[in-house]
A and B are shown apart, each in its own frame.
Chain A
Amino acid sequence: MLTAKLSIQNKVYHLQSLITDQKEISSGYFRLIFSAPQIAQIAQPGQFVHIYCGEGTYLRRPFSIAKVKKNQVEIIYKVVGKGTELLSRKKKGNTLDVLGPLGNGFTQSLNHPITQSPILIAGGTGVASLLFLAQKLITLYTSHLTPLTVFLGAKTKNDLLCIDNFKKLGCQVKLATEDGSLGYKGLVTDLFRNSLITHNSSLITNIYACGPYAMLKEIAKITQKYKIPYQVSLEAMMACGLGACRGCVVKTSHQSLTTSHQHFVYKTVCKDGPVFEANQIIWE
């Protein structure tokens, strides 16, 4: 199978970017757009930017790239602590200290029969990287009969983001909220599992997911059962964001060539990831 590792790792930029827009898209959730031609030109779905949010934080904060448009880069985030709080106070015209693009993005298979199609599953702010991925996939799959299916899950209706963005791209959007305020009442993983009963799982070429660890782990169980290739975007606390400090590791399985002995290796979420083949991950 021809696969393209689309992320280009050779260049990282440190920019003082101009903020061109910031909007609260849902209560507590923001969309921030900044001008960063160097990043916009080479960014791939799944990659992230590492942002210095301001005085009072010591480390940068990683955010998935949600969209690139000409010279503009967009991120979508939730205010959860000091860094994101500081970020949310920034206004159009302010500068943003950005490092990026960083990490390895999603691998997109190019030569599937036209009856097959990937599925995207996002939990919470995990929509950000999948929105970018959906845009890319749409361009690859324009000739396909089956639309892209996107599962979005969150706590409440307020936490469900970017529904219209996915719809505009022509995706079939399936919603789940834990409180039932919109779509299926329950976890998005349950909605997805149920859909496999009616959906022929052999027609799914790939599953791409981004969201809370527990969600990703649950999907791993399902995809393993149905033998569906599955890529996940993981999160970890980060310092350098470049792979140098070894601060953001995840345990992955590793088959030793010399001893044919199964053991683990630590891979960095920031450089080897954030996107991994889920079957590499040793879920804890």
Chain B
Amino acid sequence: MVNLSTEIARIKLKNPLLVASGIIGFGEEYSKLINLNVFGAITTKTVTLKPRAGNPSPRIVETMEGMINSIGLENPGLEIFLKEKLPFLKRKLKIPIVVSIAAENAEEFAEISRRLDKEKGISALELNLSCPNVRSKEPRAKSPPLLSCPPPRLASGDAGAGESKNGGINSEQGVISLISQDAELTYEVVKRVKKVTKLPVIAKLTPNVTDITVIAKTAESAGADALSLVNTFSALAFPHSPLTTSHSPVFGGLSGPAIKPIVLRMIYETYQKVKIPIIGMGGINSPQDAIEFFLVGAKAIALGSALFRDPFLPQKILIGLKQYLKIQKITLSKLTGSMIHE
């Protein structure tokens, strides 16, 4: 029997396949279709302190080998999450629950974390650091930038661009970057959260940076127990949705097989610079893809938008992975980064 069990950020997993944030919401719908307990763990939709309505339609566009989403972090907010969503997950699941959270600044991240720390049944917090920072009234650029960022006009992934149709970040409050586009902010948020919770903390980073290893190292030095690499890529596409009469483009986050080669390169680079484990995600669509993520250094992987197409992909990936380990006569832990160790 091939053993798929592993450990990430002190969480024991029966297998290394998670479901990425935002894919199954809070599990209610997908649990009617598939057995969620096949996963090693699930990550919830990102929860914010207050409910968020999200972005107007269209929120989805299919692109070549992928899709763009601009959901705008629609979620019921922390209170409803605790009252309705978490109890459901705890009832249904026998696997660890990772709660993804986002906030506008370090204080708010800490406030949510403090509240979740008191709850039973949560295995870890994933900080969605691909959300805009809206604390500072003055542009952050005044402090010496530790990293050069792309012009942060676009929200990354499902970062929540408020009600702005084009996904541009509201600049009223001095927003100029996503948290994980800024090493200093990343440090501050992770540090603050670590201070208020004993739960393992996973930092999920945006790929929309010049050098992701800089941010990854910063998150590690602030005490992050693991990294989730990566969120979606800022992108633009033209839908012709029947819900809109105009042909304006949709700004949002690109996911799917189209991004996989870039993500693999990012994990490959990061693996060589950090000691904390990496949960890899971005375009996993087959057992072959999954194996590649381990080869470049992922210790666990998360399934994202490919689940929309194939609800039975989790089983297929796990079977494929087992077969590979058996044929190669290698353990799962040895597989991680084996391309680099060779």
Interfacial residues, chain A to chain B (CB-CB below 8 A)? 10-12, 14, 52, 57-60, 99, 212-214, 234-251, 264-266, 271, 284
Contact = CB atoms under 8 A, between A and B. Distances in A.
B168 interface: no
Interface in B32-58: 32-34, 45, 53-54, 56-58
B22 interface: yes
Given A58-B256, A239-B305, A247 B243 contact: no
Nearest to A216: B242
Interface stretch (B64-72, B128-136, B184-192): B64-72
Contact of B57 (A99, A244, A248): A248
Contacts of A265: 53
The winner among B62, B67, B245, B256 for most chain A CB atoms within 10 A is B62
9 contacts: A58-B63, A58-B66, A60-B309, A99-B33, A239-B308, A245-B22, A245-B71, A249-B54, A284-B244
B175 to A, nearest CB: 23
B29 A250 contact: no
A237 B245 contact: no
Contacts of B311: 14, 99
SS class of chain A's interface: helix, strand, loop or mixed?
loop
A10 B32 contact: yes
Contacts of A214: 245
B4 interface: no
5 interchain residue pairs of minimum CB distance: A242-B29, A247-B60, A244-B25, A244-B29, A237-B60
A266 B71 CA distance: 11
B57 to A, nearest CB: 6
Given A59-B309, A245-B22, A238 B60 contact: yes
Given A237-B60, A249-B59, A60 B242 contact: no
Contacts of A234: 243
A239 B69 contact: yes
Contact of A248 (B60, B256, B257): B60
Contacts of B174: none
A213 B242 contact: yes
Contact of A245 (B23, B56, B62, B239): B23
